[in-house]
């Protein structure tokens, strides 16, 4: 395990990171996003904590600065803001980007070596071309990376982390001197689509939330987010988890929106079938579905 330097310890047991701004950008899952920020804040004392949203503050005085921005109405809006505008809201050397389903898990996994990089995110196992770092939902980004990102074209329709970590990675490295973490560092930093080592600094993915939170708490969080926010693949993963646990209440939570009308029944049956198939693949040893 990577241990944090002694000078980072605080008397309350948190890690002191004054050079890092914790930031989330969203118009949806407001309560769940705020909960994710608070979970990270319980483990880390950040230089600043900002929630960039078009929604009015639901609470104040908790250490979170609410910053008003235009509505984020689509994934395209999110990608555009993260690339073009995020740098305007970060005054520290680094930003730790969090989402409602991605936050700090293990404070003692922090190492100052992370600060030597301009971008760190959980590795992408679906790629094998060396451009595998990484997921943006829980990611550490330097001020250099944020400024350089604002120069990137944003008309491809791709997710912003793919634009940064794959489409324009070579440009960012060659023209802006951006340094991406290697896979080993990224693996220590966070997990998403790879199995958890149990010692990562943080994570991303609603399917991982389901295994890191107590079930009752996860069901509460899941019930707070808007219908449609969680994609089909992620819902399939949750169905697989529910089958493995024999957790029928969790399965009902996932499937309920799909069976509210006859029109949506086919999507519900397709989702259930996909979840069962994923569970069987995992049980047969033919490879993890996620």
For residue 288 the two structure tokens come to 């993890």
Residue 287: band (very low, low, confident or very high) from pLDDT cuts 50, 70, 90: low
Q: Is the pLDDT of residue 203 over 50?
A: yes
For residue 290, tell me if it sits in a domain: no
Domain that holds residue 216: 207-284
Q: What is the pLDDT of residue 290?
A: 59
CA 172 to CA 167: how far, in whole Å? 10
For residue 1, what pLDDT is reported?
Answer: 45
| 1 found inside a domain | no
Q: Say yes or no: 173 and 57 in one domain.
A: yes
CATH number of the domain to which 175 belongs: 3.90.550
pLDDT tens profile 57-66: 887 789 999 9
State yes or no: pLDDT of 286 exceeds 90: no
Domain stops at, among 176, 199, 222: 199
Local confidence band at 230 (pLDDT 50, 70, 90 cut-offs): very high
Whether 236 and 274 have beta carbons less than 8 Å apart is answered as: yes
Query: Which one of 151, 169, 199 terminates a domain?
Result: 199
Task: Say whether both 69 and 187 belong to one domain.
Answer: yes
> Side-chain half-sphere of 281: how many Cα atoms within 13 Å?
15
Q: Describe the strand order of the beta sheet including 94-97 as a list of residue ranges.
A: 65-68, 44-53, 15-25, 94-97, 139-142, 119-121
Q: What is the DSSP letter of 100?
A: T
Q: Which two tokens stand for residue 208?
A: 């991982």
Mean pLDDT of the chain: 93
Residue 34 pLDDT > 90: yes
Residue 289 lies in a domain: no
Residue 158 falls inside a structural domain? yes
Q: What domain count does the chain have?
A: 2
Same domain? 231 vs 185 = no
pTM: predicted TM-score of the whole model, two decimal places = 0.94
In this structure, are 154 and 254 located in the same domain?
no
Boundary (domain end) residue, out of 183, 199, 215:
199
The pLDDT of residue 289 is above 90: no
Q: Taking residues 244-257, what's their average pLDDT?
A: 95
Q: Are residues 170 and 216 in the same domain?
A: no
CA–CA distance, 188 with 202 (Å, rounded to integer): 9
Based on the number of CB atoms within 10 Å of its own CB, is 100 exposed (0-12), middle (13-18) or buried (19 or more)?
A: buried
């Amino acid at each position: 395990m990577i241990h944090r330097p002694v000078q980072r310890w605080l008397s309350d047991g948190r890690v002191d990171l004054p050079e890092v701004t914790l930031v989330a950008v969203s118009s949806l899952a407001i309560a769940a996003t705020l909960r994710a920020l608070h979970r990270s804040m319980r483990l880390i004392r950040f230089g600043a904590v900002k929630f960039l949203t078009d929604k009015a503050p639901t609470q104040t005085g908790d250490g979170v600065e609410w910053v008003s921005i235009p509505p984020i109405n689509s994934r395209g809006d999110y990608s555009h803001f993260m690339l073009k505008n995020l740098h305007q809201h970060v005054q520290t050397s680094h930003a730790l980007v969090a989402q409602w389903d991605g936050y700090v898990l293990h404070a003692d996994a922090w190492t100052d070596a992370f600060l030597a990089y301009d971008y760190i995110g959980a590795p992408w196992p679906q790629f094998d071309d060396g451009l595998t770092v990484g997921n943006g939902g829980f990611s550490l980004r330097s001020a250099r990376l944020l400024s350089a990102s604002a120069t990137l074209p944003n008309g491809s329709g791709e997710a912003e982390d793919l634009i940064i970590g794959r489409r324009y990675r070579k440009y960012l490295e060659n023209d802006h001197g951006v340094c991406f973490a290697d896979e080993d560092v990224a693996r220590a930093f966070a997990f998403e689509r790879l199995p958890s080592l149990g010692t990562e600094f943080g994570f991303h993915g609603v399917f991982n939330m389901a295994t890191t939170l107590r079930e009752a708490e996860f069901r509460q969080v899941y019930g707070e987010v808007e219908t449609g926010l969680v994609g089909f693949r992620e819902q399939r993963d949750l169905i697989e988890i529910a089958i493995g646990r024999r957790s029928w209440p969790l399965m009902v939570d996932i499937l309920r929106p799909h069976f509210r009308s006859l029109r949506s029944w086919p999507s519900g049956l397709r989702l259930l079938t996909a979840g069962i198939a994923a569970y069987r693949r995992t049980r047969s040893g033919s490879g993890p579905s996620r």
